[in-house]
Amino acid sequence: MRLNDESEIMVSPASKYYWRRLIDFCGRHKLRVVYLDDFETFEKVMEKRAEAETYKQRLRSFFERLESERSIYTETNYVREWMEAGYRADVEAEYIFIVGREKKILENIQKTNPSIVVMGKGHGDIIFLNRGSLETQGISFGQYLREIAGLRNEEADPFEGWTISAVMPEFDKKLPSFITYEGPDPSVVVERELLQRSYNAVTQMRILPERKPDFIGTWFPKLRSRGLFEVYIEERRDGGGISGTIEDILGTAGFEGHWNGQKISFKKNYDAQKSQGQSHYPLFYQGNLENGTIRGHYDFISDGGIINYPGQKDSFVLFQGDQFKLDLS
């Protein structure tokens, strides 16, 4: 038996602490533990992470050499390719880690047929939400219960204080609270949806491949799949007015603006319920069509309409239809 370095990396010491206590408890009460996770999937994740690191190392070496030679950086295709490939490997690693493992967990549930299953809420919420489709695979669930780490409401707030060390010793002594199921955590559902979008972007250069957008583009031309977005026009008004939704890896945003076949401008606002970690400020985009490509820039604007962070020239590109042109120059 040896210490497996990969498991050490994939399961954090904090998580191991929890699972160890649970496994020990089951052992003491003569419950039979079956392991639902899949180590081979961990290994695939490690391979993808190593691939991502290879590209990051190439980029680091490239820029270190530029710095040592005091050369001026001009963007080259291979630097862009390294960035895209490294990012793609990172997203694929995360996707295998979350979605690939979950698939294996469900297969192992089918094989071992446990009466009780304990898993992270990120998987539990999604699996319970999809329980209808899982029944066709012979997996059915009775009750779903959610455990919440933290103190109960009536207890004092443990987070008061100025440093982690000041509050954590007290927090460490507490057991997590526990509540019965009240529906999946909306943030978990959004998080999973956005992971799927990131994966779609790096593998298909699409956000929602089952739909047909009016425009497709990127607000991050240096790493196109990271900033990929799709524009869905839902209403057209006289004089070129348009409105609808924009979908990207940060979530769903509403937009309103103008498009006259040559110039486009619109204000975009993320929907807080369907997005994560996005700017609270609306963004204003404006661009012009030249040789089949709309190029322009976007700015963050405050409620008063004041531009807070003026964008750079060519900070976004956009194409009509659902085909992203990969040979940008």
Partner 1 sequence: MIERLYGVEHSVMFSCFFSTEEKSVCPSEELVGKLSALPAGTVVGIEFSLEAHRSLLIK
CB 300 within 8 A of CB 281: yes
Rank residues 176 and 310 by Cβ distance to partner 1 and give the closer one.
Answer: 176
Return the DSSP state at 310: P
Return the bridge partners of 215, or none: 231, 320
HSE toward the beta carbon, residue 140, CA cutoff 13 A? 4
Rank residues 162 and 291 by Cβ distance to partner 1 and give the closer one.
Answer: 162
Piece of the chain touching partner 1 by CB under 8 A; list 163-171, 225-233, 291-299, 318-326? 163-171
Near partner 1 by CB under 8 A: residue from 76, 103, 155, 176: 176
Near partner 1 by CB under 8 A: residue from 47, 51, 107, 147: 147
Under rule CB under 8 A, residue 170 binds partner 1 = no
User: What is the per-residue binding string for partner 1 in 87-116, x denoting contact by CB under 8 A?
Assistant: ------------------x--xx--xxxxx
Return the bridge partners of 255, or none: 244, 268
Of 123, 309, 315, the residue nearest 219 (C-alpha): 315
User: What is the per-residue binding string for partner 1 in 39-58, x denoting contact by CB under 8 A?
Assistant: x--x----------------
Near partner 1 by CB under 8 A: residue from 44, 47, 99, 144: 144
Residue 100 and residue 103: Cα distance in Å, rounded?
5
CB of 122 to partner 1, least distance (A): 8
Piece of the chain touching partner 1 by CB under 8 A; list 60-68, 122-130, 254-262, 318-326? 122-130
CB-count burial class (<10 Å; 0-12, 13-18, 19+) for 266: buried
CA angle 100, 16, 277 (to 5 degrees): 55
**Sign of the Cα pseudo-torsion (113, 114, 115, 118, in order):** negative
Residue 86 and residue 77: Cα distance in Å, rounded?
14
Near partner 1 by CB under 8 A: residue from 66, 175, 307, 328: 175
Piece of the chain touching partner 1 by CB under 8 A; list 27-35, 76-84, 90-98, 278-286? 27-35
Near partner 1 by CB under 8 A: residue from 52, 127, 194, 201: 127
CA dihedral of 136, 139, 140, 146, whole degrees rounded to 10? -130
CB of 146 to partner 1, least distance (A): 5
- Footprint of partner 1 on 263-322 (CB under 8 A): none
CB of 98 to partner 1, least distance (A): 12
Q: Which two tokens stand for residue 80?
A: 């862009």
CB of 165 to partner 1, least distance (A): 9
CB of 86 to partner 1, least distance (A): 23
CB 133 within 8 A of CB 103: no
Report long-range pairs for 117-123 (Cβ below 8 Å, ≥24 apart). 117/36, 118/22, 119/36, 121/146, 121/147, 121/185, 121/188, 122/98, 122/188, 122/191, 122/192
Near partner 1 by CB under 8 A: residue from 69, 154, 172, 303: 172
